[in-house]
Amino acid sequence: MLATRVIPCLLYQDGSLVKTVRFKNPSYVGDAINAIKIYNEKEVDELIFLDITASAENRAPDLEIIKQIASECFMPLAYGGGITSLEQVREILRVGVEKVSFNSAAINNPQLITETAKAFGTQCVVVSIDVKKNFWGKPEVYGDRATQSTKENPVGFARRMEDLGAGELLLTSVDREGTWEGFDIELVGKISNAVKIPVIAHGGGGKLGDIQDVVKFGKAAAVALGSLVVYQKKGMGVLINFPKRKNLLELLS
């Protein structure tokens, strides 16, 4: 495994993988199982799988899909989407998922984070934090697929999630997501310096150098990639891929 984890982040909607830009305009990417088979061949170290409409549609996690994904996935898997109870967490972990990711629940029912950490350990608890700049350019934590501001400062929110029992944070810059413009290094750095748990930088990765920069200057413990691992290049067609391990080792050594 790489010292710094580089993780495909797959977005799932209505039975297929999609890719969004700033959380909007989902474009079809392909079949989840086929994508995971390719990542298995690429010897990816870890995978994040997010059902991006489950919470908005008040749907429980689709255990059948999760079971299929987990049985096909040869690497550690984190699942997020629609989780609202400890029993759902138990069922998800039971079918072979290693980590659960909380987003809406972290805002609406933060006690669930503590309950999960106590029941199953902090190592399986990921809190997904979506950050977007408001009208005045101030970063705030957003919920409901980045449509509703919580008015909370990202640093304070991250610290609170750590105190509640989060084992790591998936930090997404909504303004950068799907743009290929590079990570929000300033945001990642502020959060990384404020907490002791690992921060996974997500949103904006467009080239291998972006990975190196957010690790070196933003102190990210891991990097999650979307566009870079599902498209050939910016503006070109779908190609499920992953950087060569040799290139990643050179970047992150």
Mean pLDDT of 78-91: 98
The DSSP line for 149-168 is: E----HHHHHHHHHHHT-SE
**CA separation for the pair 52, 144 (Å, rounded):** 10
Whether 130 is catalytic: yes
Fold observed for domain 5-252: TIM Barrel (3.20.20)
Position 3 scores a pLDDT of 81
Tokens (6 digits) for 71 = 């049985």
Selecting among 45, 130, 184, 213, the annotated active-site residue is: 130
Q: Where are the domains of the chain?
A: 5-252
For residue 183, CA distances in Å to 25, 167, 180, 198 come to: 20, 22, 9, 16
Is 184 a residue whose pLDDT tops 80?
yes
Per-residue pLDDT tens over the stretch 221-239 = 999 999 999 999 998 999 9
| Per-residue model confidence (pLDDT) at position 22 | 97
1, pLDDT greater than 70:
no
Q: Convert the pLDDT of each residue in 190-219 to its tens digit.
A: 999 999 999 999 999 999 999 999 999 999
- Summarised one tens digit per residue, pLDDT across range 37-82 is 999 999 999 999 999 999 999 999 999 999 999 999 999 999 999 9
